[in-house]
């Protein structure tokens, strides 16, 4: 059985000491009330809910899984899920960051990111049900009509209904240009949606009265490929003019997947048989509308990686403190006991510090990126909003791709600390390893994130966000060039920043000469960029210690983690740099 304690001190440090989120937020439009006291209170309450309500049935939900009834096409979630969702909705969490005129609390996205981490660490399978609703709400807020927002968005914000994203089809995978789901004209401006979607998280469940599917499909006159995709609102139950539920729509789950992890989350095959739907946004512009949801979803998946890594770290640290086994290489440290604890072993400390240095830097990165989404949405100055948007676009593939990949390492190291006991289901840590496997795949595999970073954010957009981020790092290094407390960090960071710029320019020239260089270098470029980005987050964190009110033990732990990261994790970037420079010729054609 595993434990979980919300890491509020670490979150507060990252939010307020490192990022100065309270000062940033109160200057944004509508941000007068977003004070540190308010945000702190929200974090405290989220911690209580996750620790007391969500975390206790994380293991049992995994063991029980979801139940699918083939006769009725219904899904029953594990014990505790339904009651927890009711408590979640009654607490106002379903509308935490949604606009007040939709019934939400209009709190900043960065607070939503912090609370989402807490909920997902408590119970990731359960957390996927409300998570998909956030993306659906965002898409309807941006692209929906006022009537659609009133009819479909407000009940989701209230927690009475939930939402999904229905993109993938059996023959299409990530190539959405191959979608076959079709839309034919119906009555009174409606459309009849027919097709099959797969891998639909929360496509069917028993937590809410209704489920609102946002579905990609083709109109009869649609051009071929991705330019011919439209987006439709398709409710599980039709909605009457007064907002009450009507007849069951002709959309149903055909099956649920039998998965390696996240077994408490229903991943469904959804069949649409001339289901009544309504166009949202412009015809043939559905892919752009769906990407409104996708960016937020990708950041959310990065948070899942952090959440699993945090819980794995907590449990492997506790285990290492308690487990008595062997003696220190330099002699017994606890001679009065039959053996020393695992903490005396340098390799165990290496595994724990690897987790810790990754977790804490990733948390700062995710909160930094989320804070930029608030600036993009609500800064008074248009130029400031534009730059924030460019930063977000650049950082999203790193925040999703690198953080989720590093979650594989963190959960693996946690299991390794347990040794053979980690492989045993009763101890709980193997669940984190299994749950983490999917997060590198959905909302775009790591390869897709890498291609997005290099192909789109660097080449197509001419590195707009990259240039801003690099300038920020360089300015930070110049500002702290004479700071003795940062002496061991600033030099390496400045050197890596310059190399990053030079490598990117050289790589762009190679891709222009040979497009195959993009695919050959993209994955290594993603990792390379990620390691330097996390190094910057650590340098900022150590700089923030000078004015932090945290206890000295807390501060020393941060310094230790930063030192470890720069000495043992950041050098990995050199391997990726060498691989990039090796070129496409080192990946020959194979049959």
Taking the CA atoms of residue 116, residue 26, residue 479 and residue 472 in that order, the dihedral angle to the nearest 10 degrees is 60
DSSP assigned state of 440: G
Residue appearing with tokens 């308690």:
322
Per DSSP, the chain holds a count of helices (H) and strands (E) of 20, 11
pTM: 0.96
Q: How confident is the model at residue 79 (pLDDT cuts 50, 70, 90)?
A: very high
Pair 544, 583: CB distance under 8 Å: no
Burial (CB < 10 A; 0-12, 13-18, 19+), residue 230, is buried
User: Which is more confident, 334 or 287?
Assistant: 334
Question: φ, ψ for residue 325 (rounded to 5)?
Answer: -165, 120
- Which of 353-380 are b and which e, b meaning 16 or more Cβ less than 10 Å from the residue's Cβ? bbbbbbbbbbbbbbbbbbbbbbbbebbe
Q: Per residue in 137-151, pLDDT tens?
A: 888 998 999 999 999
Mean pLDDT of the chain: 95
174: pLDDT strictly greater than 80: no
The pLDDT of residue 442: 86
Q: Lowest mean pLDDT of 15-29, 87-101, 284-298, name the range.
A: 284-298
Q: How confident is the model at residue 152 (pLDDT cuts 50, 70, 90)?
A: very high
The pLDDT of residue 173: 67
Q: How far is CA 463 from CA 107, 299, 471, in A?
A: 31, 20, 12
Q: Per residue in 472-520, pLDDT tens?
A: 999 999 999 999 999 999 999 999 999 999 999 999 999 999 999 999 9
Q: Per residue in 427-459, pLDDT tens?
A: 999 999 999 999 999 888 999 999 999 999 999
| Angle separating helix axes 552-564 and 346-378, nearest 10 degrees | 100
376: pLDDT strictly greater than 90: yes
Among 178, 173, 85, 190, smallest CA distance to 132 is for 85
- Which of 427-448 are b and which e, b meaning 16 or more Cβ less than 10 Å from the residue's Cβ? bbbbbbbbbbbbbbebbbebbb
Task: Point out the residues that are catalytic.
Answer: 443
> Distance between CA atoms of 315 and 122, rounded to whole angstroms?
13
The pLDDT of residue 366: 98
DSSP β-ladder status, 161-166 and 210-217: parallel
Q: Per residue in 517-530, pLDDT tens?
A: 999 999 999 999 99
The pLDDT of residue 132: 86
Among 522, 531, 461, 537, smallest CA distance to 496 is for 531
295: pLDDT strictly greater than 70: yes
């Amino acid at each position: 059985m595993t434990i979980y304690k919300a890491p509020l001190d670490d979150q507060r440090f990252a939010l307020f000491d490192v990022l100065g989120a309270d000062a940033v937020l109160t200057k944004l439009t509508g941000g007068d009330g977003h004070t540190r006291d308010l945000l702190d209170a929200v974090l405290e309450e989220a911690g209580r809910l996750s620790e007391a309500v969500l975390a206790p049935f994380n293991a049992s939900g995994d063991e029980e899984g979801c139940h699918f009834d083939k006769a009725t096409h219904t899904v029953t979630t594990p014990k505790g899920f339904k009651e927890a969702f009711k408590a979640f909705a009654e607490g106002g969490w379903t509308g935490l960051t949604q606009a007040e005129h939709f019934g939400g609390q209009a709190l900043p996205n960065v607070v939503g990111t912090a609370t989402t981490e807490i909920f997902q660490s408590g119970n990731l399978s359960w957390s996927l049900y409300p998570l998909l609703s956030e993306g659906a709400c965002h898409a309807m807020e941006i692209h929906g009509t006022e009537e659609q927002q009133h009819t479909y968005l407000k009940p989701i914000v209230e927690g009475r209904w939930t939402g999904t994203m229905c993109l993938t089809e059996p023959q299409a995978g990530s190539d959405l240009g191959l979608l076959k789901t079709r839309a034919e004209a119906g009555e009174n401006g409606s459309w009849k949606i027919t097709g099959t979607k797969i891998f639909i998280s929360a496509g069917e469940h028993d937590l809410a009265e209704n489920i609102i599917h946002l579905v990609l499909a083709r109109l009869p006159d649609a051009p071929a490929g991705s330019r011919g995709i439209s987006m439709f609102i398709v409710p599980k139950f039709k909605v009457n003019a007064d907002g009450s539920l009507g007849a069951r729509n002709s959309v149903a789950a055909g099956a649920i997947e039998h998965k390696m992890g996240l077994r408490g989350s229903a991943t469904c095959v959804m069949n649409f048989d001339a289901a009544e739907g309504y166009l949202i946004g412009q015809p043939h512009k559905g892919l752009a509308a769906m990407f409104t949801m996708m960016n937020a979803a990708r950041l959310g998946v990065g948070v899942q990686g952090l959440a699993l890594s945090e819980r794995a770290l907590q449990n492997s640290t506790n285990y290492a403190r308690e487990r008595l086994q062997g003696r220190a290489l330099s002699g017994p440290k606890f001679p009065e006991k039959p053996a020393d604890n695992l903490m005396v072993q340098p390799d165990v400390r290496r595994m724990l510090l690897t987790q810790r240095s990754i977790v804490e830097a990733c948390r700062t990165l995710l909160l930094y990126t989320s804070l930029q989404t608030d600036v993009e949405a609500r800064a008074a100055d248009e130029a400031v909003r534009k730059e924030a948007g460019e930063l977000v676009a650049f950082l999203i593939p790193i925040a999703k791709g690198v953080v989720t990949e590093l979650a594989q390492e963190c959960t693996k190291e946690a299991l390794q600390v347990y040794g053979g006991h980690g492989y045993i289901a009763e101890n709980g840590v193997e669940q984190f390893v299994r749950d983490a496997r999917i997060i590198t795949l959905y909302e775009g595999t790591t390869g897709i994130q890498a291609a997005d970073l290099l192909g789109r954010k660097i080449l197509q957009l001419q590195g707009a966000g990259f240039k801003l981020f690099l300038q920020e790092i360089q300015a930070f290094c110049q500002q702290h060039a004479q700071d003795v407390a940062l002496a061991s960090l600033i030099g390496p960071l400045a050197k890596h920043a310059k190399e990053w710029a030079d490598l990117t320019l050289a790589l762009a020239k190679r891709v222009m000469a040979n497009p195959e260089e993009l695919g050959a270098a993209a994955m290594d470029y993603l990792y390379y960029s990620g390691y330097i980005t996390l190094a910057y987050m650590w340098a900022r964190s150590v700089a923030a210690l000078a004015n932090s009110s945290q206890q000295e033990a807390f501060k020393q732990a941060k310094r230790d983690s930063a030192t470890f990261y720069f000495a043992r994790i950041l050098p990995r970037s050199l391997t990726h740099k060498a691989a990039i420079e090796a070129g496409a010729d080192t990946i020959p054609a194979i049959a």
